[in-house]
Amino acid sequence: MSDTRALLSVSELEAWYGESHILHGVTFDVRPGEVVTLLGRNGVGKTTTLKAIMGIIEKRTGSVRFEGKELIELPSDAIARRGIAFCPEERGIFASLDVKENLLLPLQVRPGGLDLDRIFELFPNLRERLGSQGTKLSGGEQQMLAIGRILRTGARLLLLDEPTEGLAPVIIEQIGRTIGTLKAQGFTILLVEQNFRFAATVADRYYVMEHGHVVDHFAAAELEANTEKLHDYLGV
Amino acid sequence: MFEIFGIPSQALFGQLLLGLINGSFYALLSLGLAVIFGMLNIINFAHGAQYMMGAFAAYLLLQHAGIGYWEALVVAPIVVGATGVLVERLLLKHLRKLDPLYGLLLTFGLAIVIEGLFRNSYGSSGLPYQVPESLRGGHNLGFMFLPNYRAWVIVLSLAVCLATWFAIERTRLGSYLRAATENPVLVRAFGINVPRMVTLTYGFGVGLAALAGVMAAPIYNVSPQMGSDLIIVVFAVVVIGGMGSIMGAILTGFTLGIVEGLTKVFFPEASNTVIFVIMAIVLLIRPAGFFGRTA
């Protein structure tokens, strides 16, 4: 499945949380400019996959290649500096930092990131709240801040972990539109989602995970034909 | 000469000044402890020994290299801070994933070893260190006599404390530090070299202790146990102020110095214990301390 055109290729990735073996050889790839979604029930290893790519989980083996270069031995700060940015499920907004400091925190790793004005075009709410304490924002605003701050870095690959979790439909729509805009601007996005109906509005391809493996794979166009199978995988 | 509450003004303001001086050292030392605790989650029991190393560095620089007080104010913290960097790289780094108790035990052991080494070489009687020429003498303020060097210690300590507060709370670098205190894993995933920041933070906290040591050298004798005498009180100050707040450490340090001084005037018998009594009360009423964050 290794694709020479891939921006990110993950192969036989295994990862451990302490003693528990979570990923048992995950293999997939993401091509430049794609939005790829990892689907699967709770606890199948989707978040762990993102964290293992990012080096946040240090106990890992296999191969993670980005722009053709191996990342598996690198610590997470070095991986970030290669041009991958991560938006965690819990959003990771810092309480001791105001909104502006939160926005400016991630290191600019390459030229070509969005400047603050462009970020405010995507998320106008943030401009009004620049001086507020990060965690005083609403859940939706925190999610916008969590996505907005990684757009500044110049990273071309964004790992987004459940960006719609716990948010109101109108905000989910806004985040969907944002992902569309980012894709149009040439960002590549690897998305983890429980919300399959949301994923269906933004993704080009899907990988389905079960028990720490990728068990299935299809393109957006094949979605209709696979609906029944998906319902089985996801238990909906 | 006039009296306040039946106390001669000279005695009252004299003790107030002494309290402010002690408070200056409490503030500098508890500030360093707070910075280190925030970043490393370690209670640095070697802090008193590192303060003592600062005083000795000033003494040795003068004896062996002819380097005077003003240069020592800069050189000693850098040299002692560098030993802190080594301690972090060689020892503390390996404890990062263990219970913070291990760090406490390690630094406690280090303090004993360092103190022992200095006592072995320099005895325990204490060595004199002159007040620098330009700060000798003092001013008669009418209600009290103010020695120049003591005024300088209070001003410098305040300035260093406020500068540190500003650097941490108001600058870009400080925002990295605050963020890494909250969630080091995520900050690292944002491309920032957190392990290096941890090392430098420890070095900086140790440097602050050494700076306090240099400032203390002309006031107290330079002796191997000068740190352990002081650090017990500083830990009480930290407990009262609460770990994790920079401004809290500064305010509590100065305030408790003054409280201690005033106690000497009004109820001298309690002056050695007043801080510990306050600590006991605070622990009962507000276990996280006045400015502390409950976990």
Cα B129 from Cα B114, distance rounded (Å): 21
* CATH number of the domain that residue A134 is part of: 3.40.50.300
Structural domain containing residue B269: 3-114+144-285
B183 found inside a domain: yes
A219 found inside a domain: yes
Q: DSSP of B85-141, one letter per residue?
A: HHHHHHTGGGGTTS-HHHHHHHHHHHHHHHHHHHHHHH-SS-B--PPPGGG-SEEE-
Residue entry with tokens 């320099």: B122
State how far the alpha carbon of B14 is from the alpha carbons of A196, B20, B156, in Å.
74, 10, 19
Q: Which residues of A touch B172 (CB under 8 A)?
A: 101, 104
* CATH number of the domain that residue B169 is part of: 1.10.3470
Longest dimension (CA), chain B: 65
Nearest CA in chain B to A50: B189
B40 found inside a domain: yes
Q: Helix, strand, or coil here: B239?
A: helix
B11 found inside a domain: yes
Domains: count for chain B = 1
Residue from A59, A105, A130 whose CB has the most chain B CBs within 10 Å, to mutate:
A105
Structural domain containing residue A56: 8-234
A199 found inside a domain: yes
Domains: count for chain A = 1
Predicted confidence (pLDDT) per residue in A98-116, tens digit = 999 999 999 999 998 999 9
> Is the CB of A77 less than 8 angstroms away from the CB of B172?
no
Q: What region does B129 belong to: left with phi over 0, alpha with psi -120 to 50, or beta?
A: beta
A3 found inside a domain: no
- What are the residues of chain B with a beta carbon less than 8 Å away from any beta carbon of chain A? 172, 175-176, 178-179, 181-183, 185-194
- A113 in Cβ contact with A153 (< 8 Å): yes
Q: Which residues pair with B138 in a beta bridge?
A: B147
Cα A189 from Cα A163, distance rounded (Å): 12
- Size (chain A), residues: 236
| A36: closest CA of chain B, how far (Å) | 21
What is the amino acid identity at position B129? Y
- What are the residues of chain A with a beta carbon less than 8 Å away from any beta carbon of chain B? 54-56, 75-77, 79-81, 85-86, 88, 92, 94-97, 101, 104-107, 109, 150, 153
Cα A153 from Cα A187, distance rounded (Å): 12
Q: So what's the pLDDT on residue B287? A: 86
B233 found inside a domain: yes
Q: So what's the pLDDT on residue B294? A: 54
| B171: closest CA of chain A, how far (Å) | 9
Predicted confidence (pLDDT) per residue in A110-166, tens digit = 998 999 999 999 999 999 999 999 999 999 999 999 999 999 999 999 999 999 999
Of B36, B42, B39, the C-alpha closest to B180 is: B39
Contacts for B189 with CB less than 8 Å, ≥ 6 apart: A54, A55, A56, A76, A77, A79, A80, A86
Cα B6 from Cα B1, distance rounded (Å): 12
B249 found inside a domain: yes
A145 found inside a domain: yes
Give me the sign of the Cα torsion angle A213, A219, A223, A226. negative
- A71 in Cβ contact with A83 (< 8 Å): no
Radius of gyration of chain B (CA): 19
Q: What is the pLDDT along chain B (295 residues), one digit of tens a residue?
A: 567 777 777 788 889 999 999 999 999 999 999 999 988 888 999 999 999 999 999 999 999 999 999 999 999 999 999 999 999 999 999 998 889 899 999 999 999 999 999 999 999 889 999 999 999 999 888 888 899 999 999 999 999 999 999 999 999 999 999 999 999 999 999 999 999 999 999 999 999 999 999 999 999 989 999 999 899 999 999 989 887 788 999 999 999 999 999 999 888 888 889 999 999 999 999 888 888 765 4
Of B227, B233, B204, the C-alpha closest to B214 is: B227
B33 found inside a domain: yes
Number of H helices, E strands in chain B: 11, 4
What are the backbone dihedrals phi and psi of residue B254, each rounded to the nearest 5 degrees, phi first?
-65, -45
B130 found inside a domain: no
A1 found inside a domain: no
What is the amino acid identity at position B128? P
Cα B267 from Cα B274, distance rounded (Å): 10
The list of chain A residues with pLDDT below 50 reads 1
Provide the token pair at A203: 């993704």
A117 found inside a domain: yes
Cα B290 from Cα B278, distance rounded (Å): 11
B120 found inside a domain: no
Q: So what's the pLDDT on residue B34? A: 92
Q: Which residues of A touch B189 (CB under 8 A)?
A: 54-56, 76-77, 79-80, 86
